[in-house]
Amino acid sequence: MNFIEHKILIKQIICLISFAYLSGCQSIPADLGGDAGPLFRRGVVSINNDGLSFKPCYVNKAESINDRTGKLAKRFKHTQAPVFYAELSGDHFVTGEPWEVYKVHLMGGDQLTCQYELSGNKYRAAGNKPLWIADVREDGIYVQNYGRLAQLVFPRKKPISLGNGYEWNSQLQGIARYSLALKVLETRCTDQFGIDYEYTSQMTLNSHVYSGCAREGNLEVRTLPGLYSALLPGMNSLGRFISLDLTSDNEAFLTQDYRNRQPLIEQIGTWKTLSEGKVVVYLTEIDGRKENEILIFQRDKQGALKLKGHSATYGTAGLRLERVGPERAHRRFSR
């Protein structure tokens, strides 16, 4: 997308803004993904006379959804719960039309479940009777068997593909010798709390077999790309409109609109996550000219990005950008 296309898109957006663990078997349309792939979202599902409604985590406004799998309505009928947390994938976001859901990854929990993001985890597998947890991370597989006090950290090796999942095998030699085999299979699983997961898990630790469910982690990173905006007070009554678009390819587009009939100020660059919920944005161009600016944001509990420290552009009061939509690859304004 060039600057002109991006500018048109941002103007459309400005106009619009002004006013802890089930596998869907529904196939995803072949033309759904394109370069962007299906849109993954997490939030709270509710039901009313008009149908299903979805309120994404860290977004204040709910929207209508159309569940192609039938699993969400089935859960409402089965549990009688008025609302529940869910992780879903579906069609691109189209303003004014229901979001099409083609796959259900997880169902169960409530609004507070949005706070559990499993940062740093590729997968979390867990079970009960006895209680155990295995976290698959970049630097190893962390195993906690609550029959023992110690946590075991196994070296992570390349997994074996099983067709419908993966198996990790590893050994650990210390005071005692441990052998681990961990399977994560794409098969529906329900835990003791009635939460439906996308994966079933099985852990064999020194010949002892443990069964449970599993889910994907890194939810913060998977849902961080998107559109963020703020309206700052200005010299005139209209103020200054700021938008920041973060893409899953780690591109960043920051636009300032002083709403004074002058062209938009556009900056482009890259972004990456740091520890403890920080996001650093490296802006390398402004209106096509090279210029370097580094902005560090802290993600707050409402999912907004708050600028840290002093900025020559935004002052010492800081800048707080609220999440208002998915990343641009998933925003379309007409079919």
By three-state DSSP, how is residue 71 classified?
Answer: helix
Which pLDDT score, from 0 to 100, does residue 235 have?
A: 67
Distance CA(4)–CA(29), nearest Å, equals: 31
The CATH number assigned to the domain holding 232 equals 2.40.128.500
Q: Number of folded domains in the chain?
A: 3
Q: What is the pLDDT of residue 149?
A: 56
Instruction: For residue 240, tell me if it sits in a domain.
Output: yes
CATH value at residue 74:
2.40.50
> Strand ranges (DSSP E) for 138-258?
140-145, 151-154, 160-161, 165-173, 177-185, 189-190, 196-197, 199-205, 208-216, 226-232, 240-246, 251-257
Q: Is residue 161 part of a domain?
A: yes
Q: What pLDDT sits at residue 28?
A: 35
The three-state secondary structure class of 235 is coil
Q: Residue 5 has what pLDDT?
A: 42
Residues 90 and 147 in one domain: no
Phi, psi of 180 (to 5 degrees): -125, 135
Q: Residue range 1-18: average pLDDT?
A: 38
Q: Which of 72, 108, 113, 77 is nearest to 89 (CA)?
A: 72
Based on the domain organization, do 157 and 194 belong to the same domain? yes
Q: Is residue 103 part of a domain?
A: yes
Residues 34 and 108 in one domain: yes
Is the same domain home to 98 and 145? no
Contact between residue 231 and residue 224 where contact means Cβ atoms under 8 Å apart: no
Tell me the residue range of the domain where 49 lies: 21-114
* The pLDDT value given to residue 113: 93
Classify residue 333: in a domain, yes or no. no
Let me know whether 75 and 49 are in one domain.
Answer: yes
pLDDT tens column, 262-289: 899 999 999 999 877 899 999 999 999 9
**Quick check: 262 and 278 in contact, CB under 8 A?**
no
> Is there a single domain that holds both residue 130 and residue 109?
no
Distance CA 247, CA 146 (A): 40
pTM of the model: 0.79
Do 35 and 76 lie in one domain? The reply is yes
Q: Span 152-180, mean pLDDT?
A: 94
Indicate if 31 and 103 belong to the same structural domain: yes
* Confidence label for 52 from pLDDT (cuts 50, 70 and 90): very high
Q: Does residue 48 lie in a domain region?
A: yes
DSSP code of residue 315 = B
pLDDT digits over 71-127, tens only? 999 999 988 888 999 999 998 777 778 999 999 999 999 989 998 999 899 999 999
98 and 65 in one domain?
yes
Tokens of 103: 């796959």
Confidence of residue 19 (pLDDT cuts 50, 70, 90): very low
Are 209 and 151 contained in the same domain? yes
Are 212 and 134 within one domain?
A: yes
Which of 217, 248, 269 finishes a domain?
Answer: 217
Task: Please indicate, yes or no, if residue 334 is contained in any of the structural domains.
Answer: no
Which residue blocks in the chain are alpha helix, DSSP H?
3-18, 71-79, 219-223
In a domain, 85, yes or no: yes
Residue after which a domain boundary falls, among 114, 142, 161:
114
Q: Is residue 12 part of a domain?
A: no
* Domain match, 169 and 204 both: yes
Residue at a domain's end among 178, 200, 217? 217
